[in-house]
Amino acid sequence: MGMNGSGCMRLATIGRTLGAGALATLLAAGAAADGALDVDADDFGCISEMTPVRGFYVGNLLGDLDATLAVARSEDGGTYPPGSVVQLVPTEAMVKHPEGYNAATRDWEFFELDPSPEGSAIRVRGFADVVNRFGGNCFACHVKAEPKWDMICETGHGCDPIPLTADMTRVLQKADPRCDTSKALTPEDIELLKALGAAG
C-alpha cells in the first residue's frame, strides 16, 4: 500500500510544527521513509502500561499521546491522529496510519494478537478484511460507529455489541500475559476467566 500526497503533506506539517530534528526522531521511531507507519509486533506491550480512557487503553507510536488523548477524551469525538493505538482487550488492537493511507477504514489498521509472556505475535493484520478468531470482521462492526467517533465503538456509538461485560474486559486486561508484574487475580476474576474459556 503506497503513501499518497495527503499523507506526505501531513508529515511535512508535523515537521514544520516540530522542527526538522524532532521530525527525524519521529521518523526513526516508527515511520517508514515514505511516511507510512512501520508497525510490528514489538509495538504492542502490556495493555495496562498504556493510558486508560474510560474502559479502554490508548497510546501513540509517534510520541503524540496528548493528541490521541485529546480525541479519546473529547465528548464530541474527533479524528484520531496518526500513530494512535487503541486496545480494549490484549488480543485486539487498532492503529491509526497517516491521513489518506486507507480511506475505507479512515486509516485504521486492525490487528488480532497472540499475547504471551514473550510479547505479542500478530495473528492477522490489515484493513477492511480482518476477521477475528470468532469469525467477526473488525471493520464491519467498527464502521457502524457514528462518524464523529472515528470507528471507536465503546457503548452507545452505534456498533453491534460484543458479548463481553465491563467486568470481563477488566479481568482480561488484568490477566494480560505481557505485563511484568502479574497482578493478583481474585477468586472472582478467576471464575470470570474460566467462564470466558481463557483460564488455560
160/191 with CB nearer ligand HEC: 160
User: Quick one: which of 44, 168, 170, 59 has its CA closest to 115?
Assistant: 44
* CB of residue 99 to ligand HEC, shortest distance in Å: 19
User: How is 51-80 classified by DSSP, letter by letter?
Assistant: EEETTEEEEETTS-HHHHHHHHT-TT--PP
Decide whether 63 or 136 has the Cβ nearer to ligand HEC.
Answer: 136
Q: What are phi and psi of 145, to 5 degrees?
A: -65, 140
Take residue 193 and report the three cell numbers written for it. 476467566
Minimum distance, C-beta of residue 109 to ligand HEC, in the bound complex (Å): 9
Percent helix, strand and coil across the chain, each rounded to 5? 35, 20, 50
Residue nearest ligand HEC (C-beta atom): 136
Contacting residues for 120 by C-beta, under 8 A, at least 6 apart: 41, 42, 44, 45, 113, 114, 178
In angstroms, what is the minimal distance from the CB of 164 to ligand HEC? 6
Residue ranges that bind ligand HEC, judged by CB under 6 A: 55-56, 86-88, 92-94, 110-112, 130, 132, 136-138, 141-142, 152-155, 159-162
Q: Report d(CA 52, CA 191) in Å as an integer.
A: 24
Residue closer to ligand HEC (CB basis): 61 or 153: 153
Shortest separation between residue 42's beta carbon and ligand HEC, angstroms: 18
Is the Cβ of residue 42 or residue 184 nearer to ligand HEC in the bound state? Answer: 42
- The residue among 35 and 149 lying less far from ligand HEC, judged by its C-beta, is 149
Tell me how far, at minimum, the Cβ of 127 lies from ligand HEC, in Å. Answer: 11
Please name which of 46, 56, 54 lies closest in space to residue 94, comparing C-alpha atoms. Answer: 56
In whole angstroms, how close is the CB of 65 to ligand HEC at the nearest point? 16
- CA–CA dist 27, 24 (Å, integer): 5
Compare residues 11 and 56 and give the one whose CB is closer to ligand HEC.
56
